[in-house]
């Protein structure tokens, strides 16, 4: 009898310790790493997907705030305030900054700071972006929400975006980086992100000339900008292998098609490839093969601010 009581007590102690450890780990994951509160995505028939509006979180201590128009920006009015210069930055994860970039260190925030030192009046740089958005996602967003009376639209893309597929919501709720709802526990997100195996999504195929399809979308964005009395700037960043002068032939050809297109359409075009290649340490501009470091964001924002001042 005493042995049974001892075993029960020991079992309860072990369970209590395990429960306390789980609570401690849950708290650490939430407070330090921001697990349990990921950014939520919404599926959309035209845009494909976009960040759910009006959400805020911290990931690895970086603040991420999304306004009522699914922008990584503070809440805004649809009409440009008086005496305000309004720029609309639209792009993919490079423009967005994702979880590795604090709200104050995004490209849009850095452009705002730069322009605020050089232009009179208030400056707003809106950030309409989401992971893996291509030109056709961006076009659909602009058709849905408009240009917010922006005087300049900056479309920031990378080489891979020239080959982007048509908008699709297939990843929402089925791929770990595009959750449709928040997990009940941070521990669940930790497991789902690093240990759970997901069945591969069926490959999305698109016939025809993808580059041409995306150039057509860019032409439609240019027409939309002109209809709203806005100047369009198209800027493209290279992959790290391109910055290291190891680009592939098909990428060079696609980039040349973009350069020819912007020349024919008389669109202000900013190609960061020669700028990155001329940098003394191109690798320092990246955190991986595509996405930019703080130094990369600083360089991009500086050059974009210069381009914006030129088109005014």
The whole-number pLDDT of residue 305 equals: 98
Q: How far apart are CA 26 and CA 49, in angstroms?
A: 30
Residue 3 has pLDDT above 80, yes or no: no
The confidence score (pLDDT) of residue 2 equals 63
pLDDT for res 312:
81
For residue range 101-153, what is the model confidence (pLDDT) as tens digits?
Answer: 999 999 999 999 999 887 778 999 999 999 999 999 999 999 999 999 999 99
pLDDT digits (tens, 9 = 90+) for 82-96: 999 999 999 999 999
What's the distance, CA 248 to chain centroid?
25
The whole-number pLDDT of residue 1 equals 65
Segments making up each domain of the chain, as ranges = 1-29, 34-311
> Where do we find the tokens 């990428």?
251
pTM of the model: 0.94
CA atoms in the 13 A half-sphere facing the CB of 267: 30
In angstroms, the CA 246 to CA 8 distance is 66
Sheet holding 231-237, edge to edge: 122-129, 84-91, 152-158, 231-237, 268-271
Task: Please say if the pLDDT value at position 182 is more than 80.
Answer: yes
Band (43; pLDDT cuts 50, 70, 90): very high
Chain mean pLDDT for the chain = 96
Q: Which CATH class is domain 34-311?
A: alpha beta
Phi, psi (rounded to 5 degrees) for 231? -85, 140
pLDDT above 90: residue 274: yes
For 93, the enclosing helix (H) or strand (E) is helix 93-96
Q: What is the pLDDT of residue 114?
A: 94
pLDDT above 90: residue 203: no
Express each pLDDT in 160-170 by its tens digit: 999 999 999 99
* Res 64 pLDDT > 90: yes
């Amino acid at each position: 009898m005493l042995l049974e009581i001892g075993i029960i007590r020991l079992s309860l102690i072990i369970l209590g310790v395990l429960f306390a450890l789980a609570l401690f780990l849950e708290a650490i994951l939430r407070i330090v790493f921001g697990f349990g509160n990921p950014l939520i995505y919404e599926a959309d028939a035209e845009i494909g997907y976009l960040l759910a509006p009006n959400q805020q979180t911290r990931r690895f201590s970086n603040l991420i705030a999304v306004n009522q128009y699914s922008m990584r920006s503070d809440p805004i009015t649809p009409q440009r305030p008086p005496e305000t210069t309004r720029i609309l930055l639209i792009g993919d994860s490079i423009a967005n900054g994702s979880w590795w970039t604090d709200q104050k260190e995004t490209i849009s925030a850095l452009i705002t700071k730069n322009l605020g030192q050089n232009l009179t009046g208030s400056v707003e740089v809106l950030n309409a972006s989401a992971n893996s958005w291509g030109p056709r996602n961006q076009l659909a967003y602009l058709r849905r929400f408009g240009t917010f009376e922006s005087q300049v639209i900056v479309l920031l893309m990378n080489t891979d975006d020239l080959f982007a597929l048509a908008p699709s919501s297939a990843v929402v709720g089925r791929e770990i980086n595009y959750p449709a709802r928040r997990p009940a526990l941070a521990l669940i997100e930790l497991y789902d992100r690093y240990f759970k195996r997901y069945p591969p999504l069926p490959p999305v195929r698109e016939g025809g000339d993808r580059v041409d399809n995306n150039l057509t979308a860019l032409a439609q964005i240019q027409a939309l900008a002109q209809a709203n009395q806005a100047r369009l700037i198209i800027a493209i960043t290279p992959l790290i292998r391109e910055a290291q002068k190891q680009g592939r032939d098909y990428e060079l050809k696609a980039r040349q098609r973009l350069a020819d297109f912007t020349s024919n359409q008389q669109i202000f075009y900013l190609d960061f490839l020669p700028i990155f290649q001329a940098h003394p340490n191109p690798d320092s501009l990246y955190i991986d093969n595509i996405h930019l470091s703080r130094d990369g964001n600083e360089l991009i924002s500086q050059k974009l601010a210069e381009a914006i001042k030129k088109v005014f």
